[in-house]
Chain A
Amino acid sequence: MAMNSDALRAESVRKVYRGRGGPDIEALSGVSLRVLRGERVSLLGRNGAGKTTFLRIASTLLAPTSGSVEVFGIDAIADPESVRPFLAVVPQEGKPFMHLTPREQAYTYLRARGFAKETAKSRAEHALEQMGLTEVADRLSITLSGGQRQRVMVATVIATEAPLLFLDEPTIGMDPFARRGVWDSFRELTRKGSTILLTTHYLDEAEALSQRLYIVDRGRLLAEGTADQLKHSVGGTLRVSVAFGDGISTQLATFGPLVRDGDTVHVITSPHRIQELLALAARSNLTATVGPVTLEEAFLRVVGRSINDES
């Protein structure tokens, strides 16, 4: 097989869902992206932005309307069967077999993928341990909580150690401890050589896990880069949050881009303008706090700009 540093390369991927009794829906409008081997990359976007559609196309589960997708240099559109042995997928809102235990679920899935009994057994045990499921490993999944079931799904898939993993909101419904356990397992997987493309709505997760991020909205890629690059791209490195700052938003806007969050106006600005900005807030009898720009603000800013452009 030809060597290639790209685990995934997508060019101009477009997907139009035929409307059933309604208009057609363009879910992806020419998305191009690359994921290098061994990378952890996140796709961020609002609900309905096209993340899951892209993941399903890249993982050979959905045919695009046009465009190309290569997985490890193999044409995934023309030859999905050659690509599939290298993939593993955690589907969005998937559930394990309710009448299997987590141990059975992971073990039988690995066996179905062709792993030898001993390998399947040891990998299943390791994955269950990583996901903190050892204590419930012999309970039927029907008796587990939603978060535990999701951990069973993740354990089942990470046990494959597949070269390319597609994880669609893998930590949804998990508690903060479980999420961190999942993050550690993803890091271990990429250290061993796997590549991960995931979607998430938890921006702290995206920042903690991803070496690069793509922001998608309305089927288009809006931004790409590391978390730091995305944060810098919004016009400053610091955020000043002014409670009830709407009344002075015109003046605030002179310091940098604004992000509105309820009654609070966040101003993205540079360190040398902080004193001046705090003084303005004090003169207006408003409370202001200073902190670093977060990925969430960068995301809101990037997507918000896109929404404004549309309107």
Chain B
Amino acid sequence: MNLEAPLPTVARSRWTGLGAFIGTELRVQLHEVLSIATSIIVQAVFLVFVAVLARQYLSYTLIGAVVFSTFQIGQRVQNEAAWIRIDHKLHEMYHASPMTPEAYFLGMSVGVLLAYCAPIFVLFAAAAYFVGLTLPVALVLLAVLGGEFVFTASVGYMISTWFKNMRSIWPYSTLFFNFFSVLPPVFYPLWLFPPALQPVALILPTSGGTALVEHAAGILPLSAEWIALAAGSLVVGASLAFVGAVYWARRISRER
């Protein structure tokens, strides 16, 4: 053994292995066909309720369902990150490697997104048919979905690192589900929300994003200030969450 032999040269960038890890996550997730297929059950149930009880709000519920689906995928990132870390301990193998913590976070997020985006297309198509999405509206919707996903996946990843066992995480999923999706005006129009709380709803990425798409589709009038509030909150929230998640991913890759 030559003790002075040079170490192998390692060519790497911050995103070494990102594509491969996206592929890994995608393969893992695609085995959960039932989970993917049932990922729009809640949205479908809400749609049925609204179609039966208040058909005039169906367009709002459809747009909300698309936005909520993306939010839900972000939550799956939280559960996946926690599962890999707590149950499998595979994060240690990936962190003690040339792959950077941010590539690990992003790879996992995008892999989960790709696996679970098929059901969103179903809702997207339904929204296009019933709401009559034009190209500009569809672009607004895609932008909102992007911001939504970045926000939720980033926050979800950070939260996933705070717990020592899976059971502790489950209540938070329920909390976020209700706080971000059921209570605020995601599946119903903004004007049905208490007026004093409407600005708060616009700040939340789910209801704020939904309001922007509904405004673009011409079914929800919003003042310029409120558009700025909703759009600004989404952009700032998603950006801060992403930067925070990258920072946190690096920091938590070595526990304290």
Contact = CB atoms under 8 A, between A and B. Distances in A.
Interface of A: 1, 3, 5, 36-38, 56, 59-63, 72, 80-81, 84-97, 99-100, 104, 108-109, 111-114, 140, 153, 156-157, 160, 163, 166, 190-191, 193
A80 B11 contact: no
Interface in B65-99: 87-90, 92-99
Interface string B227-256: 000000000000000000000000001111
B92 A112 contact: no
Contacts of B24: 97, 100, 104, 108-109, 111-112
- Residue of B97, B99, B253 contacting most chain A CB atoms (<10 Å): B97
A95 B31 CA distance: 17
Given A89-B92, A160-B97, 20 more contacts: A5-B4, A37-B5, A56-B92, A56-B255, A61-B92, A62-B254, A88-B97, A91-B89, A94-B88, A94-B92, A94-B93, A97-B28, A100-B27, A108-B20, A111-B23, A112-B94, A112-B97, A114-B12, A193-B1, A193-B2
A63 B6 contact: no
Contacts of B157: none
- Residue of B1, B16, B17 contacting most chain A CB atoms (<10 Å): B1
B5 to A, nearest CB: 6
A13 to B, nearest CB: 14
B3 interface: yes
B3 A36 contact: yes
B255 A61 contact: yes
Chain B binding surface SS class: loop
Contacts, number: 130
Given A61-B95, A62-B255, A3 B88 contact: no
Given A59-B96, A61-B254, A89-B93, A99 B88 contact: no
- Residue of B2, B31, B98 contacting most chain A CB atoms (<10 Å): B98
Contacts of A91: 89-90, 92-93
Contacts of B107: 112
B43 to A, nearest CB: 25
A160 B10 CA distance: 13
Interface in B5-40: 5-8, 10-12, 16-17, 20-21, 23-24, 27-28, 31-32
B96 to A, nearest CB: 4
Nearest to A72: B7
A99 B36 CA distance: 15
B152 interface: no
A61 B252 CA distance: 9
Contacts of B27: 99-100, 104, 108
A153 B17 CA distance: 19
B175 to A, nearest CB: 22
Contact of B10 (A60, A63, A86, A191): A86
A163 B90 contact: no
A108 B27 CA distance: 10
Contacts of A99: 27-28, 31-32
Contacts of A100: 24, 27-28
Contacts of A87: 96-97
Given A100-B24, A113-B17, A163 B8 contact: yes
Given A99-B28, A113-B98, A190-B1, A1 B7 contact: yes
